[in-house]
């Protein structure tokens, strides 16, 4: 954490090596987080770029408070995603994967273990509550620990563990019936 | 409730042990035999989800995005520096005097002759130097973007000319310049919504778009910008005709994102809507004209020239598509603001 603090300090002084390191360490995590939230890989690329552009332009206002720098990036990414869906809904379009519905007569125990694909996963996470979805996105796509997710969402670790558990139970059911 | 909490803790512990501790699912299950039946499928689902999400953006996009981001930041830095430098405090007449001086020099015979020179001609470096001077003297970022768009037009003519003459090396260099200048337009346009950008020189050649895979050399060139497949150049037999379509493009979320301090400069640009409309018109025209010109050159070109021409087509398609979408989005936002 000490290293990241000094890295961020240098980045705030517009040190290109530090900015590049922060970019390299976080770009893929933010990209995965956005892909899971919107389900469009090409759009997610552009949005990830926007997240970093915004973050680095306003990095001088960033205050290090002990949580990882990525938490701040995820917050920007979250706002970006909210904005994306707001605009998308204004255009009255329906995402293709929103039609995901599982058949009810499948055998959950035998089908859960099969390899899922990204479209199914995105569709399944849409059925979760917003808190569950956020936990899954930060934990599995963003690669944050439970403690980091808790810090990022302003909740206790116990609450995050409970949300993680209920989210995975729901995902299993949905993916098994998909 | 307590049992649920305990199980959630056990599940997280096992997940952590498998994800970061290098243990297998079975090892963890052995620690909690009483919960094994319930834990196993959940761990499997979580690990499958994690594995499914092991995806990455296209490497060429990643590189390009990094370059654009650093270029935008450099521009901001440069602008700040200028604001407080001696040059920044010069009276307006001094800037005007420099501009007049450059215009006088530009009207001299050599510079005028260089204006029409081609990459294989001795006066071509003079042409490039004159362009750089004019860029430095163009004050606004939209003005710079417009001039870069004009330069891209020149580069396309040069690429076609070099293709006709069979001069591969010069054509590849010119294609790189065209890519750089298209990227510069993108950086300037995308920075317009938040902070003014001042690009004084084209981007470094090392950050060019990645060349296509070897098999791409034998494929026909992509269709024109504005095709439905956003960001992915479509492979067709020739340039397609439809108008560029609108697609959702992100704009800043003002409430959530800290405002960059450079935004204060936005107020200076009162004629933004007109300038944006003009830039959009130029880019729309170029988005139609350039692929047609490059496609025509591609059809006439010998096989050895085709891969480079194909790259030029791909680059122009991708950049124009993004630029047009972004400008359209900005106009929509402006219209919305007017309505509000």
Tell me which residue in A112, A141, A158 faces B45 most closely, judged by beta carbons: A112
- pLDDT value of position A116: 65
Question: In angstroms, what CA-CA distances link B131 with B31, B104, B128?
Answer: 71, 15, 5
SS3 A144: coil
Least-confidence region, from A69-78, A150-159, B33-42, B66-75: B66-75
Q: What is the pLDDT of residue B85?
A: 56
Residue B66's pLDDT is 84
In this predicted structure, which of A65-79, A84-98, A131-145 has the lowest mean pLDDT? A84-98
Check CB contact under 8 Å for A88 and B248.
Answer: yes
% of residues, chain B, pLDDT over 70: 62
Q: Is B32 on the interface with A (CB under 8 A)?
A: no
* B156-179 residue pLDDT tens: 999 999 988 888 888 888 888 887
pLDDT at B26: 93
Q: Which residue has the higher pLDDT, A67 or B323?
A: A67
From the candidates B65, B141, B204, B229, which should be mutated to test the interface with A, based on the most A CB atoms within 10 A? B65
Most confident of B130-134, B149-153, B185-189, B236-240: B149-153
On chain A, the residues whose CB falls within 8 A of the CB of B249 are 46
Highest mean pLDDT among B77-91, B96-110, B137-151, B184-198: B137-151
Q: Does the pLDDT at position A23 exceed 90? A: yes
Quote the pLDDT of residue B339: 62
pLDDT of residue B203: 41
pTM for the model stands at 0.52
Question: CA-based Rg of chain B, rounded to a whole angstrom?
Answer: 26
Domain ranges of chain B: 2-52, 59-90+138-248+262-339
Q: To the nearest whole percent, how much of chain B has pLDDT over 90?
A: 16
A172 vs B200 pLDDT, higher one: A172
B 188-247 near A (Cβ less than 8 A): 190-191, 194-195, 230-232
What share of chain A has pLDDT > 90, as a percent? 56
pLDDT of residue B78: 72
Residue ranges in B32-115 assigned as alpha helix (H): 36-52, 59-84, 92-106, 109-114
Q: Would the pLDDT of B278 be above 60?
A: yes
Interval A132-147 mean pLDDT: 94
Give the pLDDT of residue B243: 36
Contacts of A145 in chain B (CB under 8 A): 16
Average pLDDT over residues B73-92: 63
Q: Cβ contact (<8 Å) for B248 and A43?
A: yes
A86-100, A109-123, B37-51 — which one is most confidently predicted on average? B37-51
Q: Write out pLDDT tens, residues B220-267.
A: 555 444 444 444 333 333 333 333 333 333 333 343 444 444 444 444
* Mean pLDDT of the region B205-225: 42
Mean pLDDT for A78-101 is: 67
Cross-chain CB nearest to B42 (options A43, A60, A169): A169
What pLDDT is stored for residue A104 in this prediction?
35
Domains assigned to chain A = 1-93 (1.10.1740.10), 100-178 (1.10.10.10)
DSSP character string of B207-230: GPPPPPPGGGGGSPPB--TT-SST
A164 confidence band (pLDDT: 50, 70, 90): very high
Query: Which distant-in-sequence residues (6+ apart) come within 8 Å of A58 by Cβ?
Result: B257, B258, B259, B260
**Which of A32, A58, A168 faces B257 most closely, judged by CB atoms?**
A58
Chain A hits for B51, Cβ within 8 Å: 115
Highest mean pLDDT among B167-181, B302-316, B323-337: B167-181
pLDDT at B44: 93
Residue of B nearest to A161 (CA): B8
* B253 with A52: Cβ contact below 8 A: no
Comparison of pLDDT for B244 and B49, the residue scoring more: B49
Of A58, A82, A168, which has the smallest distance from its Cβ to B258's Cβ?
A: A58
* Whole-angstrom distance, CA of residue B154 vs CA of residue A93: 40
Highest mean pLDDT among A28-32, B114-118, B334-338: A28-32
Mean pLDDT of chain B: 71
- Residue B84's pLDDT is 57
Query: Which of the residue ranges B70-79, B132-141, B292-301, B327-336 would you say has the lowest mean pLDDT?
Result: B327-336
| Structural contact between residues B134 and B181, judged by C-beta atoms closer than 8 angstroms | no
B252 touches chain A (CB under 8 A): yes
Residues B196, B79: contact at Cβ < 8 Å?
yes
Cβ–Cβ gap A28/B57 under 8 Å: yes
d(CA B259, CA B319): 27
B73/A76 CB distance under 8 A: no
**Mean pLDDT value across chain A:** 83
Res A103: pLDDT: 33
* Mean pLDDT, residues B314-324: 75
Taking CA atoms, A78 is separated from A28, A82, A152, B123, B269, in Å, by 15, 6, 11, 52, 31
Does the pLDDT at position B195 exceed 80? Answer: no
Alpha-carbon distance values, A126 to A95, A130, A170, B167, B322 (Å) = 11, 8, 11, 54, 28
* Inter-chain residue contact A115 with B57, CB threshold 8 Å: no
């Amino acid at each position: 954490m000490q290293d990241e603090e000094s890295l961020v300090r240098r980045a705030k002084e517009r040190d290109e090596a530090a900015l590049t390191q922060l970019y390299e360490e976080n770009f893929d995590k933010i990209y995965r987080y956005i892909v899971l939230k919107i389900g469009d890989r090409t759009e997610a690329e552009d949005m990830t770029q926007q997240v970093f552009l915004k973050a680095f332009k306003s990095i001088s206002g960033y205050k290090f408070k002990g949580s990882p720098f990525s938490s701040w990036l995820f917050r920007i990414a979250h706002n970006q995603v909210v904005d994306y869906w707001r605009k998308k809904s204004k255009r009255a379009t329906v995402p293709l994967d929103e039609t995901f519905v599982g058949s009810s007569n499948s055998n959950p125990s035998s089908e859960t273990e099969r390899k899922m694909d990204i479209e199914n996963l995105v569709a399944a996470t849409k059925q979760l509550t917003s808190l569950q979805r956020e936990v899954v996105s930060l934990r599995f796509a963003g690669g944050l620990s439970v403690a980091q997710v808790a810090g990022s969402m302003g909740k206790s670790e116990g609450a995050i563990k409970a949300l993680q558990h209920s989210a995975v139970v729901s995902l299993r059911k949905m993916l098994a019936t998909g | 409730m307590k049992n649920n909490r305990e199980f959630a803790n056990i599940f997280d512990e096992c997940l952590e042990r498998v994800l970061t501790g290098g243990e297998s699912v079975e090892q963890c299950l052995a620690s909690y035999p009483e919960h094994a039946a319930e834990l196993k499928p959940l761990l499997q689902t979580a690990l499958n989800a994690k594995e499914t999400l092991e995806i990455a953006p296209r490497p060429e996009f990643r590189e390009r995005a990094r370059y654009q981001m650093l270029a935008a930041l450099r521009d901001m830095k440069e602008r700040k520096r200028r604001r407080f430098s001696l040059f920044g405090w010069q009276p307006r007449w001094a800037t005007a005097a420099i501009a007049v001086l450059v215009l006088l020099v530009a009207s001299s015979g050599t510079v005028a002759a260089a204006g029409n020179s081609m990459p294989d001609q001795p006066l071509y470096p003079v042409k490039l130097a004159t362009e750089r001077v004019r860029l430095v003297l163009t004050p606004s970022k939209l003005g710079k973007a417009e001039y870069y768009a004009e330069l891209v037009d020149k580069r396309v003519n040069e690429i076609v000319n070099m293709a006709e003459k069979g001069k591969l090396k010069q054509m590849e260099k010119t294609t790189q310049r065209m890519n750089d200048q298209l990227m510069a337009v993108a950086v300037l346009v995308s920075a317009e919504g938040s902070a003014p950008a001042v690009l004084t020189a084209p981007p470094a050649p090392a950050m060019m778009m990645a060349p296509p895979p070897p098999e791409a050399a034998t494929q026909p060139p992509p269709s024109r910008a504005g095709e439905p497949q956003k960001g992915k150049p479509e492979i067709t037999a020739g340039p397609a005709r439809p108008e560029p379509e609108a697609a959702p493009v992100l704009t800043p979320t003002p409430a959530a994102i800290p405002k960059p301090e450079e935004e204060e400069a936005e107020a200076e640009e009162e004629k933004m809507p007109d300038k944006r409309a003009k830039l959009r018109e130029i880019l729309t025209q170029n988005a139609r004209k350039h692929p047609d010109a490059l496609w025509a050159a591609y059809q006439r070109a010998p096989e050895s020239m085709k891969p480079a021409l194909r790259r030029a087509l791909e680059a122009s398609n991708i950049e124009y598509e993004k630029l047009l979408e972004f400008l359209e989005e900005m106009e929509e936002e402006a219209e919305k603001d007017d309505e509000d």
